[in-house]
Amino acid sequence: MSRPQKPDLVGYSFSDAVPDPGSIGVRDGDSISQLISNVQGINYYVDFIAFGEKSLLNPRDVVKPGLRQFMATGIKCPNGAEMTIYQDSTTQGNLLGEKIKKGIQSAGLPAPAGVAPGILEDARDALNPFPLFSAAMGTGYPDCELKSMPVGDLYGNTGPGAGKTWIEGDLDIGKYPPQQSKWIQKKDKNGYPVWMSEVDFNAYPKTLNFDGSPKLPRPLKEGFSVISSTNNKLIALGILVALFAAFQSL
């Protein structure tokens, strides 16, 4: 019986989350109802870009793009597994701070959590020098912990369609929204990454393979065969000696 084929790994496309005008009611027409529908469609795109939620005349729920996933680093944890980084490209809505956020909401508008704030959040995080500084000041030997986090988009999807996936590796069984459990760098109570000395890192038991699977104990079959064979030879020799002694006594 053949194994089920694994889905093809593909990249996530933000553009696929943008609805085409026709799907949100924007069409050519002279009627008042079509004019209203077109205005609502324009309102939808404004909400998609700025707010991430429907506002004013827009009656449709706004799609929130973005992907959550673990990214490989090529760095080894003390237990032998690969260390990963959890990446969340969905908009968090924390770019402008609580004061401005509440000010916008006081005007009857949603908090700014659309695509544009999300892009600025990504730029802010990319320009943050702390991760690079921390890595430069670290020992190069990270301490790790197993972390279970949701993966895929905000709607429980892990791929664009049948036979394709955005997420590399197996998903945790029986979990919804979908999630994975991967090894990431441990952080202390203040949020700083934890590093180990080279001596402690090398002394830590390497119980996992690089892909995170448990290392199987080395087979002892050959050793047992040698021991068993040796014991059998000794027993046979003992029997021969006993028989020889018995014949001598006759």
pLDDT in tens, 13-68: 988 888 999 999 999 988 999 999 999 999 999 999 998 899 989 999 999 999 99
pTM for the model stands at 0.75
Q: What contacts 8, CB < 8 A, 6 or more positions away?
A: 163, 164, 165
Q: How far, in Å, CA of 34 to CA of 36, rounded? A: 5
- Higher pLDDT, residue 244 or 38: 38
Residue 200 tokens read as 């402690």
Long-range contacts of 134-140 (CB under 8 A, 24+ apart): 134/192, 134/193, 138/193, 138/195, 139/195, 139/196, 139/197, 139/198, 139/201, 140/195, 140/198
User: Are 183 and 85 contacting, i.e. CB atoms less than 8 angstroms apart?
Assistant: no
In the prediction, which pLDDT does 102 show? 81
